[in-house]
Structure 1
């Protein structure tokens, strides 16, 4: 008797396979083995391989954005939340069950220049995380926890760029100590200790002073 496909479980399994092997490295045969069902069941539930990949990518995107939002919301103060998110995203490679790289970053490197829908998912997730960072950074600046010599939108873009760069570097299996040091150094850019005098206007994302 054929195994019944449970949609959420199947999506999680497909996500892990795409995350590990990439879109082009994942065949329908691999998906049937991983999901434990025959091809017709996959086609009936998700359509073709590309449709399944896009749904898995959306599932990853919404899960990651939700997790970042929860980390920030549960922190005792904005700066602690930012630090927690950055350290988690940059140093979680060696935690049990964590896969190498970021699914969205992997998608960007493999497919974004060929597939507009993939590119849209990548852009949206990075924008959503940047927006969460920016809100926390603004709150941190008001409390004196974050530098005001750079605008919150530029700092948010810097953090997203730094985190995603680290996720790419994970593919080379850097040491845990190296990742921790990079996270610490990256976060030090937020420190208010070396703020410019108040009469100097901060630099923003457009490279202008505001």
Structure 2
């Protein structure tokens, strides 16, 4: 009979996320992960198979807990323009300086691992695709409610917003100040949704 795993799985995943998020996948050693998770090597292998398996679960957990906030904001049925703005306000511009410095775990992963581990990079990229589709759907609703210009298709607008979000997360990791991040995104939001600056 297999021995039960003697650790709290969610707590261990959260600890591993902190290590991966701060240092990246490649720079996070197995021993650093074990120390942070407070488990032994056998428990890690039994629960996650290996470092890559652990990281994929960390990515899944990141999406379900952190990116779910983005999806919820973009699902604003009554005021999709506000939902789009709130994504940038509450998940980027309202973050602490320390959180901003970490960037987005998914964006970091794609940037780091695309040249060296396409499988894990694709796993992270697929999570970003979910957010892009949510942006596109929000743009479709905003156009229907005449909140967004019709000079650009919802698909193009959604992709543009997603590209901007990724760019801002990269810039935040570089240490760019929040005020500068705001100046970077607000002109685009006001161009796409002219009524925003009148609220």
TM-score > 0.5, shorter chain as reference: yes
How many residue pairs are counted as aligned between the two chains?
Answer: 191
Deviation at 1:98, TM superposition (A): 5.8
1:158 aligned onto 2:160 = yes
Alignment TM-score, normalising by the size of structure 1: 0.82
Which residue of 1 is the match for residue 96 of structure 2? Answer: 94
Closer, same or farther in 2 for the Cα pair 1:20/1:52, shift >3 Å? same
Moved more, 77-86 or 184-193: 184-193
* SS in structure 1 at match of 2:146: coil
Deviation at 1:163, TM superposition (A): 0.6
Which residue of 1 is the match for residue 132 of structure 2? Answer: 130
Normalized per residue, the structure richer in helix is 2
Alignment TM-score, normalising by the size of structure 2: 0.86
Which residue of 2 is the match for residue 185 of structure 1? Answer: 187
Moved more, 115-124 or 23-32: 115-124
Which residue of 2 is the match for residue 149 of structure 1? Answer: 151
Task: Give the conservation status (yes or no) of the 8 Å contact 2:88–2:165.
Answer: yes
Task: Give the conservation status (yes or no) of the 8 Å contact 1:130–1:160.
Answer: yes
Gaps of 5+ in 1: 194-210
Q: Deviations over 1:130-187 (max 9, x none)?
A: 1111111111111111111000000110011111011111122111211122221231
The one of 44, 47, 51 equivalent to 1:45 is: 47
Gaps of 5+ in 2: none
In structure 2, what is the Cα distance between the partners aligned to 1:179 and 1:10? 33
Which residue of 2 is the match for residue 63 of structure 1? Answer: 65
In structure 2, what is the Cα distance between the partners aligned to 1:122 and 1:88? 22
Deviation at 1:4, TM superposition (A): 2.8
In structure 2, what is the Cα distance between the partners aligned to 1:164 and 1:97? 15
Task: Give the conservation status (yes or no) of the 8 Å contact 1:94–1:176.
Answer: no
In structure 2, what is the Cα distance between the partners aligned to 1:149 and 1:127? 24
Runs of 4+ aligned residues of structure 1 deviating over 4 Å after TM superposition are 95-99
